Structure 1
Amino acid sequence: MSTLTEAPESAAARDTPARRRPRVDRLPYLLLLPCLAIIAVLLLWPLGQVVAMSFYKLNNVRQLRGTREWPWVGLDNYVQILGDPFFLKVLRNTVLFAAANVLLTMVFGTLVGLLLNRLGKKMATFVASCVMLAWATPALTGTIVWKWIFDDTSGLVTWLFNKLPDGLSNAVFGRSDWTGYGWFNSPLLFFAILTLVVVWHSFPFIAVSVLAGLKSVPSELHEAARVDGAGPWRVFWSVTFPMLRPVFGILVVLSTIWDFKVFTQQFVLAGGTQDRTTFMLSIYSYAEAFSPPPKYGLGAAIAVILTLILLMVTGIYVRMVLRQEEEA
């Protein structure tokens, strides 16, 4: 009886793809290191400083320079802010303003994007270039122009209202002479003008993003829907919107973050931080930190609360995206 002896496993057999360990390519991580270092220096370090400042009582510039000790107060700044009824009013202003601006920006930007998609190539390029001028204009420059438009003596809006017939102006608005009228004195009117400025500056990005998404939707789907008798509104909700749902989701989150952080436009239109009735979280944080007497710790606490709110919004969106991918 002969016995079979198992031949020793060769080196080639041991190095089969099933046994070979996957090789980790470190080059992409090495290429990301400079960007991560820049982000850490320009974003994470200042953010950490703001979080640290929120736990101290800082009322002097010398404390920030390190020449005086930082008195530790723990969560007292947060307790003081969250227990202040004025903070709830500011939070309400911020949420309502952001909700209105996100809605108007998304609707107007989507309509412009649909219009650009229907135009010819040359006309669409011309209109898109004109539209992007508003987005490319710095917020400070654009807001100064809008403040001049609503100037109470030489502004364009004041001039137009003065051109109305006296009878019509009296019947509709209760006055015929608009010279000297304070367009920014009423909180409701101020927020209306601020909304106009922010939407004007924000909708071009939404329009171009929607246009880019529309270019990825197969034209056969739209043609099939029209053959079935669907109108423009039905085509949008049944074909376009489902295909662009991820795009709209990202745009809503970005618009929410931007509108929650509106500062430059409000600061310029209001002429500073004197009008507390129109405060929102960004300018509230600035006013508490830098208005005399300065309270840097309270301002930092408000900034941290605003950051946490925006992180919650982003987290909710990411969770929704992951859930949709699991269901798919």
Structure 2
Amino acid sequence: MSVLTRQPVSAGAGAGATRPRRRPRRQPLPYLLLVPSLVVIGVLLLWPLGQVVVMSFYKLDNVRQLRGQRPWPWAGLANYAEILADPFFRTVLRNTVLFAAANVLLTMILGTLVGLLLNRLGRRMATFVGSCVMLAWATPALTGAIVWKWLFDDTSGLVTWLFNALPDGLSTALFGRSDWTGYGWFNSPLLFFAILTLVVVWHSFPFIAVSVLAGLKSVPGELHEAARVDGASAWRVFWSVTFPLLRPVFGILIVLSTIWDFKVFTQQYVLAGGTQDRPTFMLSIYSYAAAFSPPPKYGLGAAIAVILTVILLVVTGLYVRMVLRQEENS
């Protein structure tokens, strides 16, 4: 028994001490305000996702089945077994992982450098440059892919014209050819992925740059000044002062970039001209080709889409867990 319980107290004090504290009453209004958002999320996200998961367990190879005019034969895990047993799936998975890793790395580096540059500029110049940079991000992916495909056109593209403008001796010494008219820029898988990476990074880095710039504005300037007074270099100031403070921002941006780059579809479809170039397949276009290329296999395509979703959930969960552990240890 504690000392406090043995001390005599007055009746009024005792009554006040033993009176239970009332918990704040929960108001239903905040929950009611969330209902419209939850309904929209359920209709636009959860319901289609659930339909894809259900379709992955059936053998669907006819449009009439999707319309409900024919029954859905149960396939169980046969679609998943077929995908995982296919050696081509491992090639597609390798392409997807390597492409996403390269694009996330390049996008983060370029976006961070541009964000640091915007932070050093004056207000008017930063506004002008930031607005110009955001034009790339605001451009629809389809429009941007069409423009880039024209730039690499084998007859009238700007890149072809620039290479033809090189002196014949220099072009032959560097690349082994002097006439670039008719050169298939998208025929080689390695060159195709290089151009696709250029297109995706060009479209993605402005968002990273503006997000980093917003994070830099929240860092107290006194910390940077103190580091410079101590003789720290620009790299040291960034790595020891700026980066630790912006670690949550970088964590969110890396997760978002990973999700976006894993499911790149529009740019690849436009640059490849469809689904004929199988050596450059990634999971998104692999799912589309399996579902809609003749003969269609909608259940198989849905199973590939589910596998892609699971991979993204696992990668995102592991990264978020790592970030949380770092926050707890710091």
TM-score bracket, shorter-length normalisation: over 0.9
Q: For 1:148 and 1:126, locate their aligned partners in 2 and report how far apart those are by CA, in whole Å.
A: 27
Distance (whole Å) between structure 2 residues aligned to residue 103 and residue 182 of structure 1: 28
Residue equivalent to 1:50: 52
2: distance between equivalents of 1:230 and 1:90? 45
- Point out the more displaced range, 27-36 or 113-122: 27-36
The residue identity in structure 2 corresponding to 1:85 is P
Matches within 5 A, 1:31-46: 31-46=33-48
1:189 counterpart SS class: helix
Match of 1:156 among 138, 155, 158: 158
The CA deviation at 1:319 is 1.4
Aligned length: 321
Matched with 1:245 is 247
Separation in 2, partners of 1:264, 1:89: 20
Note the C-alpha offset of 1:28: 1.6
AA aligned to 1:180 is G
Distance 1:20 1:272 in 2: 65
Output the amino acid matched with 1:44.
Answer: L
Look up the match of 2:110. 108
> Can you give the 5+ residue segments of structure 1 that lack an aligned partner in the other structure?
1-5
Aligned to 2:97: 95
1:324, 1:24 → 2: CA distance?
34
| Distance across 2 between alignment mates of 1:7 and 1:99 | 71
1:234-277: per-residue Cα shift (whole Å, max 9, x none)? 11101111110110011000000000010000000000000000
Show the counterpart of 1:232: 234
Alignment partner, residue 6 of structure 2: none
Question: CA separation in 2, counterparts of 1:149 and 1:113?
Answer: 27
**CA distances 1:51-103 after superposition (whole Å, capped 9, x unpaired):** 00000000000010011110101001001101110000000000000000000
2:130 aligned with 1:119: no
* Aligned pairs (5 A) from 1:205-224: 205-224=207-226
The one-letter code of the counterpart of 1:255 is S
Return the TM-score normalized by structure 1. Answer: 0.95
| Structure 1 letter corresponding to 2:148 | W
Q: Counterpart of 1:66?
A: 68
Match of 1:132 in 2: 134
How many angstroms apart in 2 are the aligned matches of 1:109 and 1:262? Answer: 19
State the one-letter code of the partner of 1:95.
Answer: V
Residue of 13, 22, 30 corresponding to 2:32: 30
Amino acid at match of 1:25: Q
2:275 pairs with 273, 284, 290, which one? 273
1:326 match: 328
- Which residue identity is paired with 2:99? F
**Residue 327 of structure 1: CA displacement?**
2.8
Give the counterpart letter for 1:209 in structure 2: S
Q: Deviations over 1:192-225 (max 9, x none)?
A: 0000000000000000000000000010111111
Q: Secondary structure at the residue paired with 2:187? A: coil
Report the Cα offset of residue 312 of structure 1.
0.6
Counterparts of 1:86 and 1:45, CA distance in 2: 30
- Give, in whole Å, the separation in 1 of the partners of 2:24 and 2:320: 30
CA distance in 1, matches of 2:155, 2:232: 51
Per-residue deviation, 1:44 = 0.5
Measure, in 1, the Cα distance between the counterparts of 2:106 and 2:121.
23
Aligned counterparts of 2:247 and 2:16: Cα–Cα separation in 1: 50
For residue 284 of structure 2, give the secondary structure of its aligned residue in structure 1: helix
